[in-house]
């Protein structure tokens, strides 16, 4: 009886507390991937997904490693695309070269978003995050929220800067930032 | 992580025109995967989730269709609250909406991918003739109430828009075989082929054959029934000419034969042959998205036993050309400007006692505008108006004794339709919807200008040799339907459900109907005619009611769809005497659907209670047999059990009216129990 109570009333809350409330979860990653078929220039074959994080923020790094674990754990990618993941520090954005997707972990600050925004120029890279500050600051092209209902945010300026575009139907259903 | 406050959602195209999305350019499948629910473009032209549509729309998804077990498209609609499907013969259905039902139901706009598939002779839909494979349907959009300004002419009681898989974006390959009671055999196939990633081709075909119900009917009617069968083939294509520009071409052919309920409550064998060719083109430009659609519909319907004629066939030819431009100004304003031209012709292949070759035709020009204003993040207003200018003309030759002269058919009618919808979403879980609709139901070709002369059957009331002559009424006016409605949707996350409530009040003015009686005339030369010109505007009618629905599914595999609907119709006495809307469909309808998926098994069932009806019925086929028949309320149970052998093959057993051998569902002959076994292969 005691172990059961311990699990239910003590360990489980502690476990939940150990995971940041804003950690990117599998549903949000799935939403980001489901937007790929709606790109005008579709990603095909094999591509690299860079997971961008703030090395000075342990929570950000934890989130990034969590995203990578989910992706490497066999997260399905629509359209038969094979994604290879790599972690990229926000202070080493040169390593983004060749990446088609930049998944921005939670925990970056405004200055880092500005740096990322500069790196977007003509990159042809789709940046996406569950941190909506990233979309608001035009460092991310799309933002995903799974709760309370599925909402996609879209930053047209960021998309233009990166040089990518989505199907009009996708844009019209998204909340445009 | 933070949510964006709404004031930070700024426009990316302030004061500029932005391209929008046209239906054919929309990858419905990817959007549905992304949002976890069906997406529609049909109401406003812009993609919307079901809850955001400024009209009372229910979307029946491919998954719903699969679980239903039925292979009749009309039967699928009965899970929508407020919809009643009268099953008047083995392959004959009429779809009533919110209290108004009749055989030859003329008040629905039925579309396949935006192309009209109702017949202009009676403005009715021959469901057995639809050239579509049920396994190729992505979704069916059911819109209740008049929505002519948003969808087009004849959208009076509602709109049924059948959306099939897109040959460019979807890869639907499916073959299905089925057998069952009533000696039913049915087969269908859809094959999709891509030429690179820019062109998609799709070919569908199928057939069905079964025995007509063997339930009790009069001797006269028994001679007219026929065993139903149907064959169809459909081709669809879509290609990307260049980025942002697509064009498509399609062609459908269908032939059906079935026992059919007529507008006067009698039954006849009806053979229907339809041919359609369609082309469409869409182009995204800086001045919005332009779309052009043109199609040609040719229908021929042959009756057996109608008016005791040795031969009577109606032929309609419709050419429709539609052009529209949809654009955004800023983030908040979406506009659609549209124009349509319709050339519609109606003539007969019929025995005529007096030599004549009537051919009625009209040209219709329409102009419409739609404005969708996203006032705030949680509030939107959609307004639409459509103006129709119709010029009617008799282009054939009429016999000298005809009661209407040729020039009397030269008429011009100008009418407008309008729709307004206010949608308020104060939270993610709550949607309030207030709508108004005004729709125009133009007279059908038969009501306007049927012209037949034929010998009478032996009658004690008429001298031997009397000639019948039957006329439409060139002076008949369009009916006008206005609908006022309030709706509320609530997401109930703890039970994974959506609760939908709606109440409505509707007026129907200048209702059209066929009166009985006629006049005996003695023509020069002593020829006696029994002249009938029955079609007229017979009066007004009102209806009110509401619907309540709880629908959802759990992660553990359960799904449910429970609904109650009520509709009360009050006819003027003159309407009740002729059309009899009041009681034409059940006032109370309760439906309880449930299902469960476990590993490779699916179990689904639907229980229905439908209240009593008082319908027009004519067992003898002549005017002496017309009367209102009472049918008591009844319950039915249907169900499906399916087993997925692997990713490709599914075996299923399904049944309807399971609990009794026959069920008296309407004033027409009782419906038999049906059981089906099917195998479906997807690859």
ipTM: 0.86
pLDDT at res. B159: 94
Please name the member of A40, A130, A150 whose beta carbon is closest to the beta carbon of B35. A150
Residues of A in contact with B41 (CB under 8 A): 169
**Does residue B16 have a pLDDT over 60?**
no
Interval B447-485: pLDDT, tens:
999 998 888 766 677 788 888 888 999 999 999 999 999
Least confident of A103-112, B14-23, B132-141, B477-486: B14-23
* Predicted local confidence at residue B24, as pLDDT: 61
CB-CB neighbours of B466 under 10 Å: 18
> Is residue A57 scored above 90 in pLDDT?
yes
A173–B243 CB contact, under 8 Å: no
pLDDT in tens, B269-312: 999 999 999 999 999 888 988 999 999 999 999 988 666 667 78
User: What are B517's two structure tokens?
Assistant: 């009686």
User: Which tokens sit at B556?
Assistant: 């553990």
| B11 neighbourhood in chain A, CB within 8 Å | 176
Percent helix, percent strand, percent coil in chain A, to nearest 5: 45, 20, 35
- Mean pLDDT value across residues B601-627: 88
CB contact under 8 A, A168 and B35: no
Query: Which pLDDT value is given to residue A10?
Result: 44
What are the backbone dihedrals phi and psi of residue A36, each rounded to the nearest 5 degrees, phi first? -60, -40
| Cα(B595)–Cα(B658) distance, integer angstroms | 17
- Our CA-based measurement puts residue B103 at a distance from the nearest CA of chain A, in whole angstroms, of 40
Of B42, B55, B61, residue with least CA distance to B113: B42
Between B36, B243, B377, which is nearest A150 by CB?
Answer: B36
Cα-Cα end-to-end distance for chain B: 42
User: Does B604 score more than 80 pLDDT?
Assistant: yes
Residues from chain A contacting residue B284 (CB–CB below 8 Å): 168
Q: List A residues 100-139 in contact with B (Cβ-Cβ < 8 A).
A: 106, 130-133, 135-136
Least confident window among A21-30, B19-28, B226-235, B318-327: B19-28
> Could you report how far apart the first and last alpha carbons of chain A are, in Å?
52
- Chain mean pLDDT for chain B: 91
pLDDT for residue B12:
38
B161 upstream amide cis, omega within 30 of 0: no
Is A34 at the interface with chain B, CB within 8 A?
A: yes
How far is it, in rounded angstroms, from Cα B194 to Cα B173? 12
Q: Is the peptide bond before A148 cis (omega within 30 degrees of 0)?
A: yes
CA distance B124 to B109: 9
Look at A133 and B1 and tell me if their CB atoms are within 8 Å: yes
Tell me what the mean pLDDT of segment A69-78 comes to: 93
Task: Name the pTM for this structure.
Answer: 0.91
**pLDDT tens by residue, A123-157:** 999 999 999 999 999 999 999 999 888 999 999 99
- For A16-28, give the DSSP string: HHHS-TT---HHH
> With contacts defined as CB-CB under 8 Å, which chain B residues touch A135?
4
- Shortest CA distance to A155 belongs to which of A116, A109, A97? A116
Q: Per-residue confidence at B350, pLDDT binned at 50, 70, 90?
A: confident
CB-CB: which of A34, A131, A156 is closest to B33?
Answer: A34
pLDDT at B462 (0 to 100):
75
* A169 Cβ under 8 Å from any chain B Cβ: yes
| DSSP bridge pairs for B185 | B179, B209
Partner residue opposite A169 with nearest CB, options B31, B36, B493: B31
B67 CA to chain A: closest CA distance, Å? 25
Q: For the residues of B106-157, what is the DSSP string, one character each?
A: -SEEEEETTEE-SBTTTTB--GGG----GGGEEEEEEEES--HHHH-TT-SS
pLDDT at B23: 60
pLDDT at B429 over 90: yes
pLDDT score at B306: 67
With H, G, I as helix, E, B as strand and everything else as coil, classify residue A114: helix
Burial class (CB in 10 A: 0-12, 13-18, 19+), A137: buried
Which residues does residue B234 pair with via DSSP β-bridges, in sequence order? B204, B252
Lowest mean pLDDT among A158-162, B13-17, B72-76, B180-184: B13-17
From chain B, pick out residues whose CB is under 8 angstroms from the CB of A176. Answer: 9-12, 331
**Which of A55-69, B567-581, B612-626 comes out lowest in average pLDDT?**
B612-626
């Amino acid at each position: 009886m005691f172990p059961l109570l311990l699990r239910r009333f003590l360990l489980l809350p502690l476990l939940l507390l150990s995971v940041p409330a804003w950690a990117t979860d599998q549903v949000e990653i799935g939403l980001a991937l489901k937007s790929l078929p709606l790109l005008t220039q579709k990603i095909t074959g094999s591509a690299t997904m860079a997971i961008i994080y703030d090395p000075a923020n342990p929570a950000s790094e934890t989130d990034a490693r969590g995203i990578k674990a989910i992706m490497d754990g066999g997260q399905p990618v629509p359209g038969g695309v094979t994604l290879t993941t790599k972690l990229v520090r926000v202070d080493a954005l040169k390593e983004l070269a060749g990446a088609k997707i930049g998944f921005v972990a939670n925990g970056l600050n405004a200055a880092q978003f500005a740096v990322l925004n500069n790196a977007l120029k003509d990159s042809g890279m789709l940046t996406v995050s569950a941190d909506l500050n990233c979309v608001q600051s035009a460092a991310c092209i799309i933002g995903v929220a799974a709760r309370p209902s599925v909402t996609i945010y879209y930053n047209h300026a960021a998309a233009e800067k990166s040089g990518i575009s989505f199907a009009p139907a996708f844009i019209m259903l998204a909340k445009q930032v | 992580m933070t949510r964006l406050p709404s004031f930070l959602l700024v426009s990316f195209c302030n004061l500029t025109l932005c391209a929008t999305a046209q239906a054919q350019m929309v990858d419905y499948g990817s959007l549905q995967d992304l949002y976890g629910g069906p997406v529609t473009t049909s109401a406003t032209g812009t993609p919307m989730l079901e809850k955001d549509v400024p009209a009372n729309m229910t979307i029946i998804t491919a998954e719903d269709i699969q679980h239903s077990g039925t292979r009749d498209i009309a039967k699928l609609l009965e899970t929508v609250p407020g919809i009643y499907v009268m099953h008047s013969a083995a392959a004959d259905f009429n779809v009533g909406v919110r209290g108004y039902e009749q055989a030859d139901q003329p008040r629905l706009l039925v579309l396949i991918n935006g192309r009209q598939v109702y017949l202009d002779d009676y403005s009715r839909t021959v469901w057995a003739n639809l050239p579509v494979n049920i396994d190729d349907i992505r979704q069916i959009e059911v819109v209740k109430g008049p929505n002519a300004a948003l969808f087009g002419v004849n959208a009076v009681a509602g709109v049924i828009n059948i959306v099939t898989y897109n040959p460019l974006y979807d890869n639907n390959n499916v073959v299905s075989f089925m057998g069952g009671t009533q000696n039913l055999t049915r087969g269908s196939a859809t094959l999709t082929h891509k030429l690179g990633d820019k062109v998609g081709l799709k070919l569908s075909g199928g057939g069905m054959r079964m025995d007509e119900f063997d339930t009790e009917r009069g001797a006269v009617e028994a001679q007219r029934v026929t065993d139903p069968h149907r064959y169809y083939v459909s081709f669809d294509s879509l290609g990307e000419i260049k980025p942002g520009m697509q064009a498509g071409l399609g062609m459908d052919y269908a032939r059906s034969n079935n026992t059919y309920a007529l507008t006067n409550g009698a039954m006849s064998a009806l053979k229907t042959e339809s041919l359609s060719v369609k082309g469409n083109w869409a182009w995204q430009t800086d001045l919005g998205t332009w779309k052009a659609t043109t199609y040609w519909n040719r229908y021929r319907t042959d009756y057996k036993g109608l008016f005791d004629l040795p031969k009577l066939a109606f032929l309609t030819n419709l050419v429709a050309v539609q052009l529209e431009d949809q654009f955004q100004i800023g983030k908040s304003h979406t506009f659609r400007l549209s124009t349509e031209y319709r050339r519609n012709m109606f003539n007969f292949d019929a025995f005529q006692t007096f030599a004549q070759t009537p051919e009625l035709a009209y040209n219709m020009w329409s102009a419409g505008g739609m404005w969708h204003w996203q006032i705030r993040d949680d509030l939107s207003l959609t307004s639409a108006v459509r103006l129709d200018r119709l010029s009617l003309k008799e282009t054939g030759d009429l016999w000298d004794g005809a009661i209407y002269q040729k020039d009397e058919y030269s008429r011009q009618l100008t009418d407008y339709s309008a729709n307004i919808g206010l949608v308020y979403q104060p939270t993610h879980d709550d949607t309030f919807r207030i709508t108004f609709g005004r729709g125009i139901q133009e007279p059908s070709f038969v009501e306007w200008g049927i012209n037949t002369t034929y010998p009478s059957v032996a009658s004690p009331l008429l001298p031997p040799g009397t000639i019948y002559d039957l006329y439409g009424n060139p002076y008949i006016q369009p009916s006008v339907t206005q609908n006022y409605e309030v709706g509320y949707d609530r997401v109930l996350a703890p039970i994974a459900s959506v609760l939908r409530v709606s109440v409505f009040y509707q007026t129907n003015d200048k209702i059209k109907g066929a009166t009985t009686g006629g006049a005996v005339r003695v023509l020069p030369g002593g020829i006696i005619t029994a002249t009938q010109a029955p079609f007229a505007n017979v009066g007004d009618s009102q209806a009110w009611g509401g619907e309540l629905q709880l629908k959802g599914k759990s992660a553990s595999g359960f799904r449910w769809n429970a609904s109650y609907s009520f509709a009360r119709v009050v006819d003027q006495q003159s309407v009740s005497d002729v059309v009899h809307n009041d009681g034409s469909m059940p006032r109370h309808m309760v439906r309880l659907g449930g299902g469960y998926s476990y590993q490779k098994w699916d179990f689904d069932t639907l229980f229905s209670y439908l209240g009593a009806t008082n319908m027009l019925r004519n067992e003898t086929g002549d005017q002496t047999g017309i009367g209102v028949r009472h049918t008591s309320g009844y319950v039915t149970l249907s169900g499906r059990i399916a087993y997925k052998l692997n990713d490709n093959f599914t075996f299923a057993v399904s049944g309807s009216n399971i609990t009794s051998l026959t069920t008296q569902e309407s004033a027409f002959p009782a419906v038999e129990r049906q059981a089906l076994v099917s195998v479906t292969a997807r690859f």
